[in-house]
Amino acid sequence: MQGLVLGAGSGIGQAMVLEAWKRPPEREEGWLLSTRRGEALSVLEAQAGTRQLAWKAANALEAPGPWLENLDAGDWRPRLVLVAWGRLVPGGAGDADELELMREVNGPATLRWVEALCQWLKPVSAAPGGLPLAIGSPVAHIAVLGSVAGDRPRRLQWEYSLSKQELERGLNDLRRRHPHVRIVLVKPGPVATPMTAHMKPGPLMAHPAQVAPRLWRAWEEGWPQVYAPVWWGWISRILSLVPEKLWERFPF
């Protein structure tokens, strides 16, 4: 198995990789992991076992095409790809520049990378529409970090919710245009990571290790989307039934 992780420093991203690595490594299994400055993360290196690891700097805001073209990988292509970039401005109370940066990273920038990955992973035998002519199944699974907040905009995280909605709409379009890959939208509820450190712990706050097994299964099997923990899918459906006038009064 070969893997590529963009944003390996993400709390959920690390949990998904560590869950994948609970399985015995395959022969010559290799993973390319990216962090903002390309530094190795000891928490992952300690659990890699005999897997071959490579580290490379990557930023959601840089152009994905040159980055992928500069990979000295020959014919190497990953079967599993994780795009774990995301930003959250606590309470949506940042200045205009902070909010704009959050919207860009969560929406357009991530979508540019996913589309570039779809092009990069297209087999040589693919037809113009992206469907492999001689391959009966998708060549790779790309998991992308979304959020349950994107199901319905919330008053205190309006810009964040809208950015995740934009991400979901864009991924739906990419699925249609690039059938040679499976795109998995990961929609966690609140998870205790550095990005949510400002949030008060509560009964619905999960630990990364709790959501990792379900997220890993969706990633490996190529589900279209996955809620984690599973009850957030039920909660989201119930909240979608709340009348708009009442929804606007909710204190979150």
Is position 91 within any domain?
yes
Identify each DSSP E strand in the chain by its residue range.
2-6, 30-35, 52-57, 80-83, 140-145, 181-188, 225-228
Tens digit of each residue's pLDDT (9 = 90 or more) over 159-209: 888 999 999 999 999 999 999 999 999 998 888 776 666 667 766 777 888
Is position 159 within any domain?
yes
Is position 128 within any domain?
yes
Q: How many other CB atoms are found less than 10 A from the CB of residue 220?
A: 18
pTM score, whole prediction? 0.88
How many Cα atoms occupy the beta-carbon half-sphere of 110 within 13 Å?
A: 31
Please give the residue range of the domain that contains residue 131: 2-247
Is position 242 within any domain?
yes
The answer to whether the beta carbons of residues 49 and 21 sit under 8 Å apart is yes
Instruction: pLDDT band for 221, please (50, 70, 90 cuts).
Output: very high
> In whole angstroms, what is the distance from residue 152 CA to residue 120 CA?
33
Q: Please say if the pLDDT value at position 132 is more than 60.
A: no
What is the predicted pLDDT for the residue at 1?
A: 66
Tens digit of each residue's pLDDT (9 = 90 or more) over 56-112: 999 999 999 999 988 755 677 899 999 999 888 876 666 888 899 999 999 999 999
Is position 58 within any domain?
yes
Instruction: pLDDT band for 133, please (50, 70, 90 cuts).
Output: very low
Helix (H, G, I), strand (E, B) or coil at 165: helix
Q: How many other CB atoms are found less than 10 A from the CB of residue 67?
A: 18
Tens digit of each residue's pLDDT (9 = 90 or more) over 21-43: 998 888 889 999 999 888 889 99
Q: What percent of the chain has pLDDT over 90?
A: 47
> What is the domain-level CATH number for residue 59?
3.40.50.720
Is position 252 within any domain?
no
- Counting the structural domains of the chain, the total is 1
Distance of CA 49 to the CA centre of its chain: 24
